[in-house]
Chains A and B, each alone.
Chain A
């Protein structure tokens, strides 16, 4: 980057050259790059390699290493212990439930504010609030829900006041449903933010065309609206799943270690090797990477397909 004027003179020509050359074919485009141009991208690439790619690969390799460094599948087999299997099962259930509820309720709210003929100010307020709420996660969110629906929470007291003891009825903020309900606080807004542009993409003309052909509102949604939104819905569902699956701070502050989800188990493992096997920790990490990566890849693939209709 600390180029002197000599190289600069040649650099001036590059943009114009690249602009002319690129339509001819990929090869001529590549030929017109100067190695100096990579210098600007180099810090980014070095950072990505050192602090994103290598650490992750290091863990993945570690999952297949015995304590003496030789190759083994034992760590992967050991994931089959009841403790680890049950933690994966709880994690998958919480993530799936919060993703499902989050996308359903998020869709309902997004449809209501965009197509429900509510005042314009409500729409922009909800979208702004969603931006805030989707970032309001982690420790403070757990505190807020303890103050609201914890054993001494305000809502709990309010329910008790009108004669409903939710804790006696089986509810507990430190449980599966408590965690799911808490996760929805950032899952629903995230859904609203992602699905709003897609709903905007449903053109008014489609409504009119369907109505002209005699379709009812229900028929419009059954045969046009939902099929067009469907890929987006599925994609966002997998994104929300991955989002919940990797989250730990909220669950940790909310439940301590009483709810044995995978990230909390991994946290305890990193802290103090509770599984008595460093290789197993790496295998646990590999399991998390595989599941979140699958969900994210699903999202990306579906999203590229979904964009066809919403140009």
Chain B
């Protein structure tokens, strides 16, 4: 029995070496741009580049747009499935799994073929159309996480009572969704949003094949041409991912555990 605990510590220690090692190494590498000691020059080089500022803010914008569009699609669907059309649940849940089954490169390949200049919806011919297509692709990537987050949020509130109470007071469906349901699942929605942002912010494959200059494409360019700046970018990305996950953990503390019935 004693030896069991010993081996647990050994496995844990090996895990720590494998997972923390690269982080420490990357941080050290990113600080080693000068021969005469550690400096933050690699980070400064990254932050002052206009390409970094532009691509990063553009990625943020695309990410926020994807979150908004995703919510507009997912919240009504999850609400109606829960309240009025539970028999659609298997179909909807299957669809939300599709982005996990279809690799992003397949998705974007399909888009390029389907929405080219000769199609009924020639999105790839204009720069705005391509941006829209990228946003929709990110909505698709985030769909599984977004749907799960919203559905979990709906499970913790009493959707039916809230809906009935609101409609007795004269609210229409749109008002109920916007002013009653949405505020009540805000915590769940936000955690879905942060996860979406973490997935989307450094995405490379889809953006690169659609020829949109986002943060992921910028990072790839830097990686092909510089030595120390990529390490700095890796550290920055890790901090962003960590921040997004930290927000989700934080939000989880505020989330209601289950429906409170007041009858």
Contact = CB atoms under 8 A, between A and B. Distances in A.
Interface of A: 1-5, 8, 11-12, 14-15, 18, 22, 26, 29-30, 33-34, 37-38, 40-41, 43-45, 47-48, 50-56, 58-59, 62, 105, 108-109, 111-113, 116-118, 122, 126, 128-129, 131-133, 135-136, 138-149, 152-155, 184-185, 188-189, 217, 242, 245-249, 252-253, 256, 263, 266-267, 270-271, 281-282, 285, 288-289, 292-293, 296, 300
A241 B7 CA distance: 28
A270 B112 contact: yes
B204 A41 contact: no
Contact of B110 (A14, A22, A33, A55): A55
23 contacts: A1-B177, A8-B173, A22-B86, A43-B73, A48-B98, A51-B107, A54-B110, A55-B110, A112-B11, A116-B4, A116-B11, A135-B198, A139-B204, A139-B216, A143-B223, A144-B23, A144-B231, A217-B1, A217-B4, A249-B203, A249-B220, A263-B105, A270-B209
A245 B77 CA distance: 31
A59 B110 contact: yes
Contacts of A37: 80, 84-85
Contacts of B8: 111-113, 116-118
Contacts of A26: 87
B195 to A, nearest CB: 8
Nearest to A281: B109
| Nearest 4 Cβ contacts at the A-B interface | A116-B8, A55-B110, A246-B103, A40-B80
A15 B160 contact: yes
A140 B4 contact: no
Contacts of B5: 116-118
A40 B77 contact: yes
Nearest to B72: A43
Contacts of B109: 55, 59, 266, 270, 281-282, 285
Contacts, number: 291
Given A143-B230, A147-B25, A138 B7 contact: no
B107 A56 contact: yes
A187 to B, nearest CB: 12
B117 interface: no
B156 interface: no
Interface stretch (B48-56, B57-65, B236-244, B255-263): B236-244
A95 to B, nearest CB: 11
Dominant secondary structure of chain B at its interface with chain A = helix
B202 A140 contact: yes
Contact of A147 (B30, B79, B85, B173): B30
Given A38-B85, A135-B245, A242-B101, A47 B174 contact: no
Interface string B2-15: 00110111011001
Contacts of B111: 51, 55
Contacts of B220: 139, 249, 252-253
Nearest to B218: A139
A15 B166 CA distance: 14
Nearest to A4: B172
B92 interface: yes
Contacts of B242: 132
Contacts of A51: 107, 111, 136-137, 139-140
B44 interface: no
A43 B76 CA distance: 8
Interface of B: 1, 4-5, 7-9, 11-12, 15, 18-19, 21-26, 28-30, 72-74, 76-77, 79-81, 83-88, 92, 95, 97-114, 121, 136-137, 139-140, 143, 160, 163-164, 167-168, 170, 172-174, 177, 195, 198-199, 202-205, 209, 216, 219-220, 223-224, 227, 230-231, 233-234, 237-238, 241-242, 244-245, 248-249
A162 B138 CA distance: 46
B205 A56 contact: no
A47 B177 CA distance: 20
Given A1-B177, A43-B77, A155-B21, A56 B241 contact: no
A127 to B, nearest CB: 10
B9 A118 contact: yes
B19 A129 contact: yes
A21 to B, nearest CB: 12
B139 A40 contact: no
Nearest to A133: B19
Nearest to B13: A112
Contact of B84 (A33, A56, A139, A253): A33
B114 A58 contact: yes
B26 A5 contact: no
Contacts of B140: 47, 51-52
Contact of A288 (B103, B173, B202): B103
B146 to A, nearest CB: 11
Given A56-B107, A112-B12, 16 more contacts: A1-B173, A14-B84, A29-B87, A40-B84, A41-B77, A56-B106, A58-B110, A109-B12, A112-B11, A140-B202, A143-B234, A144-B23, A185-B19, A249-B204, A270-B109, A270-B112
Contacts of B104: 246, 248
Contacts of B110: 54-56, 58-59, 285
B46 to A, nearest CB: 12
